[in-house]
């Protein structure tokens, strides 16, 4: 009886290995990884003890460049540095504009106070978005006075960077935001082509996806449903519905848990009409914005990985990839894709 049980267990393990091993799988030929620049090229900050309420402008590291997040110059710099997609944050203002700005309130980065989405765009245009940045606890403010009038609208971004591709982050949970973006994209083919995908608040994300043909997107709920469903059933090759026709965000330090990681998993995702966004290492309490931001983390990226690589250091991405050995392991190339794989049908 015990012998039969051992044989059965061995056969089961062998079957699971055969179905899920990447030993005989390869990433798609001719595809290169695509860099996804979080907030464009921006100032870095100390992530220790970071929460959703932390004023990150008050804890920046000594500046290495002059760019401020979510501005047109920072996005242009990100594309120049090799980004295929730039992530940006939006708030729908009372006058119907999408303000491109990260924070829920104005108190951290600007000289004003109040809730961003409740402030008219005309007022937001008057603010100094570099006002609150400091790297020395408030002794000096290196960007104060240099960010006046630099908060753009979404349409200003799309008009200024017509060749760019953007991942739009809804900062609220208002269905109205998704519906308004859908009307904008459905009425302007150029804008629709530029907006690669959406994510963030579940209600606006789902509304936009439902109303815009072929638009990809995910929320925290759908991403969790996808990954947990795959962990439960992916051993069989089954891809949960939540993983289909979407983007699948995967923290690099937990990727090894996914059945068939890396090549077989990636190919299963692509066969389901989706693509993978490889995030930085997830730690308890993380806000989800960690990226592939240093040599050590680049060393965790599988050789030849052709999906999206989320980074907060777009200006250093190529250097870190080379120093980590990622490029040498990827057929000796350090080539990055310039456009996303999804296109408007």
What digits encode the pLDDT tens for the residues 75-132?
999 999 999 999 999 999 999 999 999 999 999 999 999 999 999 999 999 999 999 9
**Residues with Cβ < 8 Å from 226, sequence gap 6 or more?**
218, 240, 242, 243, 246, 248
Q: What pLDDT, on the 0 to 100 scale, is given for residue 52? A: 78
pLDDT of 263 strictly over 70: yes
Distance CA 288, CA 290 (A): 6
- Range in 50-59, 183-192, 291-300 with the lowest mean pLDDT: 50-59
- Pick from 189, 227, 132, 199: which is nearest to 343 by CA? 189
Q: What pLDDT, on the 0 to 100 scale, is given for residue 24? A: 65
pLDDT of 285 strictly over 70: no
Question: What is the maximum span of the chain, computed from C-alpha positions, in angstroms?
Answer: 79
What digits encode the pLDDT tens for the residues 55-81?
999 999 999 999 999 999 999 999 999
Distance CA 13, CA 11 (A): 5
String of DSSP letters for 92-103: E-TTS-EEE-S-
Contact 310, 278 (CB under 8 A): yes
String of DSSP letters for 257-306: GSTTTTHHHHHHHHHTT-EEEEE----TT--S---S-SHHHHTTSPTT--
- Going by pLDDT thresholds of 50, 70 and 90, the confidence category of residue 344 is very low
Q: What pLDDT, on the 0 to 100 scale, is given for residue 9? A: 58
Omega before 262 within 30 of 0, i.e. cis: yes
- Going by pLDDT thresholds of 50, 70 and 90, the confidence category of residue 11 is low
Residue count of the chain: 345
Distance CA 82, CA 336 (A): 7
Q: What pLDDT, on the 0 to 100 scale, is given for residue 5? A: 59
Contact 100, 89 (CB under 8 A): yes
- Give burial (CB, 10 Å; 0-12/13-18/19+) of 118: exposed
Distance CA 108, CA 127 (A): 12
Runs of H (alpha helix) within 49-96: 72-80
Distance CA 99, CA 200 (A): 15
Give, as one character, the DSSP assignment of residue 214: T
What value does the mean pLDDT take over residues 331-336?
Answer: 80
**Residues with Cβ < 8 Å from 88, sequence gap 6 or more?**
39, 40, 70, 75, 100, 154, 157, 166, 167, 168, 169
Average pLDDT over the chain, rounded to whole?
92
What value does the mean pLDDT take over residues 233-259?
Answer: 96
**Torsional class of 245: left (φ above 0), alpha (ψ -120 to 50), beta (otherwise):** left
* CA atoms within 13 A of residue 246's CA, in its CB half-sphere: 26
**Residues with Cβ < 8 Å from 178, sequence gap 6 or more?**
170, 198, 203, 204, 205, 206, 207, 208, 209, 211
């Amino acid at each position: 009886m015990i012998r039969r049980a051992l044989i059965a267990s061995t056969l089961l393990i062998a079957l699971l290995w055969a179905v899920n091993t990447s030993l005989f799988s390869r990433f798609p030929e001719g595809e290169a990884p695509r860099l996804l620049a979080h907030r464009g090229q921006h100032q870095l900050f100390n992530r220790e003890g970071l929460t959703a309420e932390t004023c990150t402008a008050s804890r920046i590291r000594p500046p290495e460049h002059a760019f401020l997040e979510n501005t047109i110059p920072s996005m242009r710099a990100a594309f120049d540095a090799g980004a295929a997609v730039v992530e940006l944050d939006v708030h729908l203002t009372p006058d119907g504009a999408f303000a491109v700005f990260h924070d829920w309130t104005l108190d951290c980065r600007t000289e004003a106070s109040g809730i961003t989405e409740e402030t008219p765009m005309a007022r937001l245009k008057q603010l100094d978005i570099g006002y609150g940045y400091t790297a020395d606890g408030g002794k000096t403010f290196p960007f104060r006075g240099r960010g006046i009038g630099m908060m753009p609208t979404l349409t200003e971004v799309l008009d200024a960077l017509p060749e760019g591709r953007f991942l739009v982050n809804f900062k609220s949970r208002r269905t109205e935001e998704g519906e308004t973006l859908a009307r904008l994209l459905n009425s302007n083919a150029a804008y629709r082509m530029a907006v690669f995908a959406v994510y963030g608040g579940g209600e606006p994300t789902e509304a936009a996806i439902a109303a815009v043909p072929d638009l990809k997107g995910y929320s925290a709920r759908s991403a969790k449903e996808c990954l947990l469903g795959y962990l439960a059933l992916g051993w069989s090759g089954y891809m949960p519905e939540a993983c289909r026709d979407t983007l699948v965000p995967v923290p690099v330090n937990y990727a090894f848990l996914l059945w068939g990681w890396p090549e077989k998993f990636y190919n299963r995702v692509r066969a389901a009409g989706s693509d993978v966004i490889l995030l930085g290492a997830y730690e308890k309490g993380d806000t989800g914005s960690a990226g592939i931001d240093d040599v050590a983390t680049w060393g965790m990226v599988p050789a030849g990985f052709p999906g999206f690589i989320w980074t907060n250091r777009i200006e250093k991405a190529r250097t870190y990839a080379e120093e980590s050995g990622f490029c040498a392991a990827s057929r000796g190339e350090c080539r990055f894709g310039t456009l996303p794989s999804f296109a408007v049908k």
